Amino acid sequence: MTFVLQLVIIAFMLCLLVRAVFSFIEPYPKNQVHQFTFRVTEPFIAPVRRLVPPVGGFDIAFLLVFIAVSMLLQLVQRFP
């Protein structure tokens, strides 16, 4: 069971990374991969963004979510 949970968390982290790359290259708005990663990650990033505004034009919410998900993965990996 924890293996499946680890895979889900890793897949989510990959979506976050793909979203970060797309934010730098500004792809065509109807790009299917861009839309998918946005729909998957935005429900987790938006609430954090409301609590923590951008600092110097940099979206800190993304970084906080990525760190939290990384910590969650480490926690899940500790339990067999």
CA end-to-end distance (rounded Å), the chain: 9
The pLDDT tens digits for 18-63 are: 998 888 887 677 788 889 999 999 999 999 999 998 888 888 999 9
Longest CA pairwise span in the chain (Å):
42
Count up the domains in the chain and report the number. 1
- Determine the average pLDDT of the residues in 12-18: 95
CA distances from 73 to 2, 5, 14, 43, 51 (A): 10, 9, 13, 19, 23
pLDDT value for 8: 96
Print the domain residue range for 22: 2-78
